[in-house]
Structure 1
Amino acid sequence: MDRWTNDPRVAKETSSRFGLAVAAVGAGVVGLVLLTFVLFSSSRDAPVSNISLSEALETALAQVVTFRSPALQPDGRAAMLVQKREAAMALRDRLGPLAAQEPALFALLNGRLDTAQKSVRIASAYDVDIAASVARLRMDYTLAAQLLRRALEQGPDNALQLRLSLADILAEQGRVTGDVEPMREAVALYQDTIIPGVEDPEELALVTNNLGIALQGLAVQTRNTAMLEEAAMAFAESLRIAPDGGGSASTKANLASVLYDLAVIEPSETLLAAAETALRDAVQIGTTPMMSLYQRQLVSVLLLQAQNPAQTPPFDEIDQLLQAVVYASPPILTVNQAASLYTKFGNVLAQHGEIAADSGLLVRAAQAYDAALSRVDQTAQPLVWAGLQANLGTVNAGLAGRNVAGYGYEQAAAAFRAALGTYSAQGASLHWAMIQSNFALTLEGEAARLGDVNLLNESLRRYSAALDLLEDIDPAMARQVRQNLTLAELRTVEMQLQMSSSN
């Protein structure tokens, strides 16, 4: 296997980074928790009146709205929008006739925010906080922030709580939209105004955790490593303040997320070990609904650790965790995310299988690549699909060379041809040349095994085709392919001499 063309741009097709999702909990701190609803509604035929919604409404809200913000989920904006719409509709269904009696609530839940603003009269700062929470549920962060700023202008007694709500909304807005300014404002609010005013240790720990979330989001957007380290310190401080608090499991997971990000920027076994420890603690003490998310993060950490060839990765544990995450109910991964995890698992299995000459690991790598391929749409993601085929071809070629049953030259050749066809159609010249070279090496090995000069000649043609392209676009790779071509030419001469002498 020493002569395989192994370029990180091609040979191992992976996503550039599989970031860890951030989870956070806490009543009224990160999540959308609506405990009391007081709305002022109006109609054309009746004057505005004060209507207190029933306990049934409060119970319905508590059942539908979770303790943590959907913006901190790993599925991205599109899936989050669907989630919020489903939550709003579920709430409306639970309310039944009561929703129809409340024009303002009905309008908010259906996204008719202009109508809602006209029909809701703000009588107190507390009412504004409630209305802002519903606007946040609809992902109208601009309206939510406007309502909270309006309430703060009145100088209310609960100004600290309103600022906390505003900071949470701004942090979520920044993470969802990628806009750094809301996150900058959120960080300033947490650091300068909110944290100095919080006295209760557990609440302070939760707020400090939220500061860490905002810092991490801002650091990622601005590529600021120092700020990422600040986020890690915020999470560590939160755990110091309340090591056994209600949010300690999610804070440990958040700390692991930042440590992972830092280890991606500058590889560090120490940081990854600390991230692994934090996540294992989170799995031990976390709640059941969060377990799949923590397991997903742990898979990512273990896979990154496994890239170190000196390590002996816990492949069986990774496999079990991966199965649990991929088939979690409710699902926490998109199809593409599952494919990415299977690809990374295949990569580390192939790497260690090649180093240790372990056919069992190579078989598992082929199975992981097959699992990834089953989740990748060739039409929608042709280069990802082709990269997986190329990886599968390389692993199958290695297994064929070891005479592993069920993995022969035909499987490797089919995978390489599939990759070459797609790369050619996509105009991916470098990728095409690299895989052409690997295919040539496979042909050369099969020719030597069978004593087939025709296969060897095809190998020479493929080396030459790859070399023609690489001479102009990648001289270093061209040198490697030229060496392989020279060795193959010598083998051809030897084979022809053997054939002549035998005749």
Structure 2
Amino acid sequence: MRRYRKEAVALAAAALILASRAGPVFAADNGAVNASACSVAAGGNASNNTLTCNFGLTAEQLRQVTKAAVEGATSPLMDRIEDIGKRLGVTEGAAKTLLRIVGEQPDVPDERLAEVLTKVANDYRRLQAQLAVLNPDNPTAQVLVEYAKAEIAAGHFDLAHQLLAQATQAQIVAAQEADKLASQAQAARDAQKLGAAASTATEGDLAMTELHYLQAAGLFSQAAELVPPAYPKETAQYLGRRADALYRQGDEGGDNADLISAIEVRKRVATFEARERVPLDWAKTQTNLGIALAKLGEREGGTTRLEDAVSAFRAALEEMTRERAPFDWAWTQDNLGIALARLGEREGGTTRLEDAVSAFRAALEEMTRERAPFDWAQTQNNLGNALNVLGERESGTARLEEAVSAFRAALEERTRERAPLYWAATQNNLGNALAALGERERGTTRLVEAVSAFREALEEMPRERMPLEWAGMQNNLGLALEALGERESGTARFEEAVSAFRAAQQKWTRERVPLYWSIAQANLGNALAALGGRESGTTRLVEAVSAFRAAMEEGTRKRVPLEWATAQNNLGNALARLGERESGTVRLEEAISAYRAALEERTRERVPLNWATTQNNLGGALKMLGERESGTVRLEEAVSAYRAALEERTHERVPLDWAYSTHNLANTLAILAVRSEDTARLQEAITCMGAAVEVYRQSHESYWLPIGERRVAEMTAQLTALKKQ
């Protein structure tokens, strides 16, 4: 049974080169659809990554301090604020305000307070750097800005907002007065507008510090509108900062509309940057455009956005060469790899995935562990995701083992203490690779490791702040639990898997991310079908059929053809199981139709092993139907389907799968032989079953070995009886 796997799109996909480098990961498809996912894209420059500590306090004590800061109350620990301020490099008053800002965030767990406080403090210091060079020409504005600087230093942000707004207004008023002057006043007017723009943009930086991305985007837009026409570079700069704010809102908040807005703003920025005049600026804008396109394409169906992202990255690399800008070249290679890997997940074959692996390995030539350890780790993570998807499409386990090695290398730098969210994303991806390995190996060791990896990742992934990534991890946990349940007795693991998929759908809603919702819906169908296989009755199987059909309403053939084909295959499996338990042939006929629909997209050329799996499943449904009907037409069709499956399920390539299909072929040949009293066919059936038994014996397949041996004995007895007639 092949399932969907969509990687948890966790975190920071792609470095915004012009602003802070931060972004998400791309993830892997295990055969079911997996969060993926989700791969995180390229993240930030190592110089912007911050090591955090608890400032000499326990997490609980730090929570008490932030609570006291919010409530304006006293606390025995408040005397530590001066020390916290020194450690953060800010005044005591500013430290109180930063503690209040962190304390007002409802979804920050105690163990992440220090990390978030450090991040806000970093933003605060960047704000101070902007203020240090802010020197408006207007005397009134100059005084107001100085007051604002003092208030910000003291931690009085609300008053600083007012003062900066007043400074802006003072300069706007001055600019309006200057407009009345003759042409000789043009320079003064422009200076006032540029000053007003700078003040407004600084207020935008203040909003970014407070994590108010949409407010910041609006302020940066106002700043761009204030810039005189003679200053296109400044206009482009403010628009770029607006795009950064919109991207962060769309990325972290899961808002596709904001990603679309970020894309449109990036395109507008490109109109201010002539490729011939400022080639590197143009290239950086192309890279940032590609990042937003890739993130949106990851959430939408089809491949158009992802194709556009690849084109943008390749265009950027024409100017941003390795010789001219080696580190930016490496970042763009990394982002190109992410987009190619996403495309490879949605297309058949391995070409795109091989290209993605090449792009990541090229990036690592410049982005070394010694030079940029955190960035190196992020690219190792992305390389692991591409190798994981490749491994799922190829036989053997070599690629999957390489993926596990890449993820474990990444975790040497992406530690839980240093970067908990990035650590969680890589733990999620490691879980995907371990689960894929576990499905190809005997026993449950790898699958148990995968379940542990997903559960640990969920301990650090905030559900409300990063809902899509959290849902992706729940989805992946469900897949690992389902695979584990297939190897254990009972239904407990399957019940846990159902709960995980339903949890994923709480955030992967149909309205918000219909494609992701369809992934979880299809995976829910698989878990329900597995439960139905172990329970009596048909209730769970009927629920599974409904789940698959609902999934295909969003995961359509046009949008995601291979995923649609997987859902059709799994729908066929559920219908075939129902057909076994019900009288008549309606369910079996429906199963056959579902398998044949799947084969329209699951072609031998495109996905040979998946094609063979569906041919094998089709053979099973035809065999059951043939046993209920008179004549041999359906049984002959079943034989043809099994023989087709064995053209790709070869003994050398996938020995156990070859044995399973050969076993099925032998049973069908035996039924045909008895009906037609054909000893030659029965002898062929005995030979086939004997060959399957030999593989079971060599593979230590304890379940099917005795069944195969018993069938050889039964067929031999039937052959003896036929020869006596």
Aligned pairs for 1:143-222 (under 5 A) are 146=367, 171-177=381-387, 178=403, 179-188=406-415, 191-195=416-420, 207=421, 210-221=422-433
| Correspondence for 1:104 among 266, 273, 280 | 280
Superposed counterparts of 1:275-424, under 5 Å: 275-284=500-509, 288=512, 290-308=513-531, 309-311=533-535, 312-313=540-541, 314-327=543-556, 331=559, 333=560, 335=562, 337-357=563-583, 359-379=585-605, 384-403=610-629, 409-420=632-643, 423=646
Q: Measure how far apart 1:480 and its partner are.
A: 0.8
Which letter maps to 2:498?
A: A
Which residue of structure 2 aligns with residue 466 of structure 1?
A: 688
Instruction: State the shift of 1:413 in Å.
Output: 0.8
Matched, 1:255 2:474: yes
Deviations 1:159-196 (A, max 9, x none): xxxx6x786555444434532354213531xx22245x
Whether 2:342 is the aligned partner of 1:137: answer no
Range that drifts further, 474-483 or 135-144: 135-144
Once the two structures are TM-superposed, the CA of residue 325 in structure 1 deviates from its matched residue by: 4.5
User: Quick one: structure 1 residues 296 and 54, their matched pair in 2 at CA, closer, same or farther if it must change by over 3 Å?
Assistant: same
CA deviations 1:338-390 (Å, max 9, x no partner) are 43333333223323422444633322221221122222323565554444334
Residue type at the aligned position of 2:7:
A
Secondary structure of the structure 2 residue equivalent to 1:180? helix
Write the mapping of 1:449-488 to structure 2, written as runs, cut at 5 A: 453=677, 456-457=678-679, 459-466=681-688, 469=691, 473=695, 476=705, 477-487=708-718
Residues 1:53 and 2:236 aligned together: yes
Q: Give the letter aligned to residue 580 of structure 2.
A: E
- The structural deviation recorded for 1:261 is 1.7
In 1, distance between residues paired with 2:381 and 2:608?
A: 36
The corresponding residue for 2:8 is: 22
Q: Quote the residue 1:76 is aligned against.
A: none
Matched, 1:274 2:512: no
Report the more deviating stretch, 427-436 or 89-98.
89-98
Q: Which runs of 5+ in 1 are unaligned?
A: 1-13, 38-49, 70-86, 122-127, 153-162, 196-206, 497-503
- Number of equivalenced pairs: 400
Check 1:426–1:263 CA distance in 2 against 1; reply closer, same or farther (3 A cut).
Answer: closer
Tell me the distance in 1 between the aligned counterparts of 2:466 and 2:641: 49
Contact 1:444/1:488 (<8 A) preserved: no
Note if contact 1:174-1:182 (Cα within 8 Å) is conserved in structure 2. no
Question: Given that residues 342 and 371 in structure 1 are in contact (C-alpha distance below 8 angstroms), is that contact kept between their aligned partners in structure 2?
Answer: yes
Q: CA RMSD in A?
A: 4.8
User: Take 2:369 and 2:270, find their aligned partners in 1: how far apart are those partners?
Assistant: 26
Amino acid in the other structure paired with 1:486: A
Cα contact 2:451–2:481 (8 A) shared by 1? yes
User: 2:648 and 2:525 mapped to 1: Cα distance?
Assistant: 36
Return closer, same or farther for 1:232/1:490 CA change in 2, 3 Å cut-off. Answer: same
CA distance in 2, matches of 1:118, 1:52: 29
Q: Return the alpha-carbon distance in structure 2 between the equivalents of residues 457 and 120 of structure 1.
A: 75
2:270 to 73, 95, 110: 95
For the 8 Å contact 1:232–1:258, the answer to whether it is kept is: yes
1:175-219 CA-to-partner distances (Å, cap 9, x unmatched) read: 34532354213531xx22245xxxxxxxxxxx3xx4322112234
Distance 1:418 1:395, change over 3 A: closer
Task: State the secondary structure of the residue aligned to 2:497.
Answer: helix
- Partners of 2:669 and 2:684 within 8 A in 1: yes
1:198 matched residue in structure 2: none
Please name the residue that 1:6 is paired with.
none
Q: State the Cα distance separating 1:441 from its structure 2 match.
A: 3.4
Letter in 1 for 2:474: L
SS in 1 for 2:625: helix
Measure, in 2, the Cα distance between the counterparts of 1:135 and 1:52.
28
Deviation at 1:416, TM superposition (A): 1.4
Name the CA distance, whole Å, in 1 between partners of 2:336 and 2:264. Answer: 11
Query: With structure 1 as the length reference, what TM-score do the two structures score?
Result: 0.62
Does the 8 A contact of 1:57 with 1:95 survive in 2?
no
2:670–2:682 contact (8 Å) kept in structure 1: no
Larger Rg computed on CA atoms:
2
**TM-aligned CA deviation for residue 66 of structure 1:** 9.6
Unaligned runs of 5+ in 2: 14-21, 25-40, 45-212, 221-232, 253-261, 287-314, 338-358, 388-402, 435-445, 652-657, 698-704
> How do 1:481-500 residues align onto structure 2 when only pairs under 5 Å count?
481-487=712-718, 490=721
Indicate if the aligned counterparts of 2:602 and 2:611 stay in contact, CA closer than 8 A: yes
Structure 1 residues 66 and 113: alpha-carbon distance in aligned structure 2, compared to 1, 3 A threshold:
farther
